[in-house]
Amino acid sequence: MTVLQTLWKRGTDFLGTKYAILGGAMTWVSERTLVSAISNAGGFGMLASGSMDPERLRLEIKATQAMTQKPFGVNLITMHPALQDLIQVCIDEKVTHVALAGGLPPAYAIESLKQAGVKVICFAPSLAIAKRLIKLGIDALVIEGMEAGGHIGPVSTTVLAQEILPHVKEVPVFVAGGIARGEAITSYLKMGAAGCQLGTLFVCSTECQAHPKFKDIFIRSSARDAIPSPQLDPRFPIIPVRGIKNEGTKKFMDIQKDVISRFDKGDITQQEGQLEIEHFWAGALRRAVVDGDVETGSVMAGQSVGMVKEELPVQSIMDRLIEQAQA
């Protein structure tokens, strides 16, 4: 057994994979083709259910199972109105691992999955929440730093790893956010991680079905181009999303300024202003990923985008990561 195999044995045993590398669940990006390719290359693909209804999720799971015999998981959003039905679909279709993302999961969600023998993965943005999730009976944790793409917390990956890894031994912990090289994976394994999760690096794989313009902007962008969406006024809070700055980012600033101005004049209520701000990005991710509208769409990307230089098959990306990690 190599040093690398020894370091991530807990992770590979938990996932049932050759490598303890999870593909980040990216809405509209992590669909059957990319997920199955990651699993077939020795990693662990994670299907992003996003806003899918139960029947659409069922079809996507079946289609993924037709493309790989290897283990993969499903990522469910805890705020989805049909969460219980989505959980039942995962149970019916014999999904082995489910990640509950986008907020603290309700106890019933964890219980339903555990009773059906499904391994439950949750996200912990702090040590206190990690401990609370472990008490609820979850099977593994992902700690994701603010360098990641999409919805982010306020703390960096390296700080989270130092805060959480030495104090959580009960369950495997996977580190995510800004990881794009094998050396970084090894360093987190040595700190006590069971493995790592990578998203941005796999967007420019040949198997990824994202629009060519979406991939092209990844290849052309540097780390500093991937910025969190700014909040201009604490009276109108937003959940920060990291993406590549574009015309949409500038327009988002303008709409916030306009809402704040109209609210201060008494023309709109706080609730009306909040809804206007929240509706701005509705459908924007799909526009960017599927339609290729990278100017006004939401181009969610982590800061590791600066290390994405070319389009490669998933197997080549995985081979390079393993070579770097072993070295």
pLDDT (0 to 100) of residue 1: 84
Q: How far apart are CA 312 and CA 318, in angstroms?
A: 10
Tell me if 250 sits within 8 A of 211, measured CB to CB.
no
Quote the pTM value: 0.95
CATH dotted code for 3-206+312-326: 3.20.20.70
Low-confidence stretches of the chain (pLDDT < 70) are: none
pLDDT (0 to 100) of residue 313: 98
Angle between helices 127-135 and 157-164 (to 10 degrees): 50
Domain extents in the chain: 3-206+312-326, 222-304
Closest of 106, 170, 178, 107 to residue 141, by C-alpha: 170
Closest of 273, 187, 203, 169 to residue 25, by C-alpha: 203
Q: How far apart are CA 64 and CA 144, in angstroms?
A: 25
> By three-state DSSP, how is residue 68 classified?
coil
How many other C-beta atoms are found inside a 10 Å radius of the C-beta of residue 165? 20
pLDDT (0 to 100) of residue 282: 84
